[in-house]
Each structure stands twice: as C-alpha cells, then as structure tokens.
Structure 1
C-alpha cells in the first residue's frame, strides 16, 4: 500500500521515484492500490518516496548480469551542431559511392553495376537497389543522361523519392494530455539515451516531460534513466530507490500515466526492456503494457517508437517486423549513423514498411538526435561535387 506524504516545495531537477507493488499474477489486472500517492513530496535527495521493497517476483531474464551504466556525460551539448555531411561522410554508403565515381566516371553499364553493388553493400536491400538501378539503366540506354553527373543527379532524386513518404515528424500536439510515447527495441540500440535526448528536445520546446523506467529487467537501464532525469530536471517514475529489478513493467508505466495526468504533463516517455525480437514471452509483455495503459486512456500509447541501430543492417528488417506485430510500431528512430555505419538500412526500412522515420542519431551530442530530413540525409551521402 502506498504511503502519503506532506507536500513540500519541489526543488528543480529532482527525480520522482515510486515503488511498484508486484502483481499477484501474470494477468493484465492492475493492482487495486497501483498508482502514485496524490500528495507527493520531493526532497533534495533524488531518492524520494522510498519504501521497503517487497520480494521481487521471478521474471524471465535475458541477460546473465547487469550491464554497466552508460555515462550520460558522453552526450555533450554542442554550441554549433556539426553538419549532416560532416556526420555521415565516413559512412559505408558515402565512402562506397564516392569511390565508385572516382574509379569509373564513364557513363556505361559498368558504372551502373558498381552503383548497384554499392547500394547492396550499404544495406539498401535487394528490392530497392534493383528497382533504382533498373530505372537508371533504362534512362541511360535511352540516352537521357549527358554524363555521369547527370546520372548521379537522377540517382539523388530516386533516393529522395524513397524517403520522402516516411519523413513525417513526431507531432505531440494532438490534444492528448499527456501524449504517451512507448519506446521499444532490442538491447544496445541506444534506446535509453534516445529517451534522454528526446526529453531534452521537448523541454527546450517548453513542454512538461515525465519519464517512466519500464525496463525493469536491467538495473543499468533504470539507473541510466534516473541520471537522465536528474540531468534534464524531469520526474522519473521507477520502483523505489533500488535497482527496480523485478517490478512489473506494465504497473510501473500505468502509475507513471496516473501521475502524468494528475500533474498535467504534456509528454510521458516510457522505457521498456530491451527485448530480443526472437523472445516471444518478453515480446508479449509489450502487448500487456498497451492493454494496461488503455484502462486509463483508451488512446494510449499515442506513439510506439522503435529505436533501430543503423549498424545492424538487414537484421533491422526482422526486428521491425516482429515489434510491429507485437506492439504496433508507429514510428522509427535510427541511431548510430555517424562513424562507419553503412546507412543504407534507412532506405530498406522505408521501402519495406513505410513507417514514419521520426529521428535519426548522428552522434553523441544532444543536438545529434535530428528530425529526419530526406534531402539533407541523401545529400550527405552523395559525392560532394555532385550534391545540391
């Protein structure tokens, strides 16, 4: 049973933590006493509303040991964000395509064969690569290109055409209050870091933001989210002051939604366990979270945002397919596209699913979580001398 505390003045940048009562069963029933105390106290110590935790229920685990907490100091604030080209120039796609036109600037079938090989090697996918190159080949044989530069200009237009339909920004101005974002994805894709950066983005837009630590299978994820909460000065709903391990994720996120409604929060971003898309039991938990949220708001979650690691290549396709089936993904974030990531998976995802690509990650800085811009993205991948 939750205790009630006298209300004290709330200092800025504190973290709000609540212990969740483990459910009596694995059904979708929400405990009768689930929820956050109506009168919440804050203190200088982030560990507020501490309760003696009950024994954690047995849960299906997919990690042998907790991973170390990733330091959020690795995400500095850039005074002047680096350009898209500067961030993407080392990608496998950009380097490969640039090399093709250096080796073979002559307009012929060999050039097209090399372009197709480059697209396939960059994880654009067989269907998209074949369609794009077939169109270029037809036009070349009809003598519609004056030189290789004209062909590359058409390639640019074709690549942008693949991405324009999915370049849809996330709109939280729908009248829902709070607007609930459920983030999903496998371990290691940068999901928790993406949540922290999203929180900062919307705080800068003067939105009230709350976070829910629903990844209760991994202590490091809870601690990392708490750290992001402290850094951004937003409330984080988690299980007590401990690791949060063993709490029922659906109950944690249910309580977060109750609290967000009570406080008239604009945006609630909920973390979930980094499930492997091949683990059906853990994937089923996502469906349970959605059903439990519907008890408070039939329209929640308003966005199911899947985070994809841009370095995983074609494996990203199977990940999205499985998460789409389990959770009804409505938007994508593709991270880690800076450095040596091939980058072509963005085109493969666009062609295969047509899901909105909301953001892409171009680095560690807070500014490097960018709203997806197909023109800037494609131009950064093309040889600079040909780009617009």
Structure 2
C-alpha cells in the first residue's frame, strides 16, 4: 500500500491489475520482465530509474526538465496499464482535495453496461427479457453474455471506455480547440479506428482472444466519445480476398433476420392498432417499420416491400434470402474497394516493390505528415436519438 501511495504522489496512478503485475514481475521493458527486486536494483528498473531521476533534479519540479513521463520504463508501464484501463485519456484532474471531471459520460451507456453484466445465481433478468424480443432474440452478444451463467470470456471483457479526440489533432496544435468530430480529417479518424481494431487490450479472461474497441454513436460536436470493448467477431475471407458464404450467412442471421422480425412485429401491431385491438399509439414507429436500417441497400431490392410499404410475407423464402445475401456480398465488396481507395488517397498505405506497406504504422513518418485538411464525411452525421 505504501509503495502504491508513493507512486501516486509522483503522478503514477495504476489500476489494481497493473499493480498486481508489477508485484508479480509481469511488466515488460526493453524486451524482458523484471521482478520487483529487479526494478529496485537493476539499471532500467522502474524504482531505480525514478529514484535516480528525482535525486538528480534537486529543486527542479518533476514536470520540467527531464520529465518522469519521458523515461522509457515509465512508458513501458503506461503501455501495460493501457491493457486494463478503460480510459484512452485521463478522465479527471485534481484541484486541492477535489477530483474534477472535464466531461459528462453517457448515463444510459454506463448503466446499461452495468446491468448487462450483473448476474444473480447465473441469471440476468434484462438479458432474458432481451432474448425474447423479436429484434434482439438472435443477438450474438446476448447469447455470449448468457453463456455458462455469465461465467464467460465475453462478459469478462465487455466494458465501456472513453476516448478524447484531442490526441488526434496535428502535433503542436493548441489543446481544447477545434477537436470536435466534424473538424477532424478522414485520415485522423481512420488511423484511430484502425488502432481500435488492433487488439491493444489484454484478454481479461486469460484465453488470448482478440479484444477490440468500437465506438458508441456520438454527436458530431463532441470532443470526447464513448465506446465498448468486446470480443472480435472475425469476417472470414477466401484465398481471393472475397467474403466467404459462411460469413455472409452469419451477417444475414445476425443482422438482417433480426430486422425482418422487427419490421414484421411492428407492422403486425400497427394493423391491430388500426382495427382497434390495442390502445398503444405506434404511429411514431411506422416509418422505421418500412425500412432496413443496418443494410439500407436491401430496401431497393425488388419484391422486398409491397406497394403499401408492408414487408413481403415471403421475405424469408429461399429465393428472397439468396437475393439479399447476394446484395450483402456486393455491399461488402464495395466497402472494401472504397476503403482501399480512401487509404491510398490519405497515404495510409502505399505501393512499395509491388507490395502494400502499412505507412501508418511508421510513427516517425506519421508524425511528419500531420493531419490532412480533408473533412471526414462521417463527421457530419448527427446523433438522431
């Protein structure tokens, strides 16, 4: 406890998991792991480095000169902490004995994640209710959360996280200014999204699954966004780089079919409302019940909707399903083609000796380029909720 308190007093705040790994010799630095004793005795060890830095500065502040945070072993510790911390940036600062938070979190998301993870005697009432609704009964996440009475790797890793858009700004630009989502370039946001899919977070279940970060819908004028950490669901490709039929079927079962059930359910209720059998006013749901929202390309397919806007009752026939799956494959292929063009235009990838080289991984090269002025077309999307 005293060791951890000392670290906090010089500005190094660790999660319980990172502090445990430090005590157990699990922190890797310069290609090797040091025991707690090694961090004290050996050159390059955390406590040896910190002690020498503090001793050498005399009356100079810890935040000036050779700053502690620039020490290599401190950076190694920070990288390890990033595997556990749900914040992509410090979420608060101290003023005297008070902790001041610089933004408000999405209360619904905070409470929802907590409620989805709470199990009593292997049961979660909310998940049971969601598994009975037409739209969510085939949800892969709900199935994985309920697996083995909540004792599973998906639940271990499922959590919310926070991300400040400020670090995406061009190096050297002033902080707290022009960091709203719509002002960031396509390249800025794309690099951040790629990083979120690179499994930077440790699998807390210990099973070495790929854990990714995804963004939660956010208004375009915000400078801080929220997201979720989840197990990755991989889309499989064949040897030619095309999506496999099995993955197309998975997309249909998990995304399209739930929308079919949702649309049918609402339209059935609208009919009973017109007949006076139910008293609830569902008029606000009518527009949404006349379209597919996740794959809007399906809306234009012939025969999907009748002339009166109702969904074809034979939508799940073999012929209709195959037509929709063909559209899904076409949609996926177009997304890949558009993404490759966007990456080349923004120099995220480049041709080198007939091979694509991932220039965005080159930190030095990347920092020299800075941000492009091109606006991100997704940045203008407003929060419709």
Shorter-chain TM range is under 0.3
Could you tell me the TM-score, scaled by structure 2's length?
0.23
Which structure has the larger Rg? 2
Could you tell me the TM-score, scaled by structure 1's length?
0.23
